Amino acid sequence: MAVLAFVAAALAAGCGYHVIGKGGGKQFIEGVGTISIPMFGNITGNADVESVITSAMVDELINAVKVDGNADAVLKGVVKSYELRPVSFSKSDVVSEYRLRVVMSVKFVKSSDNTVIWHDENISDYEDFTVNTSDISATRDAELTALRKIAKDTARLLRERVSAGF
């Protein structure tokens, strides 16, 4: 619980993560035993998107490698796009379902010399969610759930890519 409270406080403060994970001495990438994951940037204009995505990255990678502020490499990211588009309508032409699409840029950089180990400028994923026309709050919750799923799936994909040597 103390670790979770610390992570929540780090998110709220907007600073990077300095949590030691369960990764032991594993080499996640050759020559990289620890990584630092600072808060992702956000150029979308949608508040807190970067917090959800950064948290998902930490949650996914903390079991694969040590996540540490003084690390061999840094995982840097920027949320570039957050797009909602209607995908279905009711008989009266009211939106009944949206598609949330998120695009981000992610890169691993060696701390010692700032060498880029790997990068992808356009990682994207989408998730559809249902609109509740009688409850705006339920629709916002559905949108947040969709964002969390995108973040979790993207973090898992990133871990798998890195583990497979990109």
pLDDT at 122: 95
Q: What is the pLDDT of residue 40?
A: 97
pLDDT of residue 20: 32
Residue spans of the domains in the chain: they are: 2-163
Closest by alpha carbon to 125, among 95, 148, 142? 148
What's the confidence (pLDDT) of residue 27?
52
CATH code, 2-163:
3.30.160.150
**Average pLDDT along the chain, 166 residues, taken 10 residues at a time:** 40 40 49 85 95 94 71 92 96 94 94 89 96 94 97 92 70
Q: What is the pLDDT of residue 22?
A: 37
pLDDT at res. 146: 98
Report pLDDT for 68: 60
pLDDT at 82: 98
Helix 49-61 / helix 2-13 crossing angle, nearest 10 deg: 140
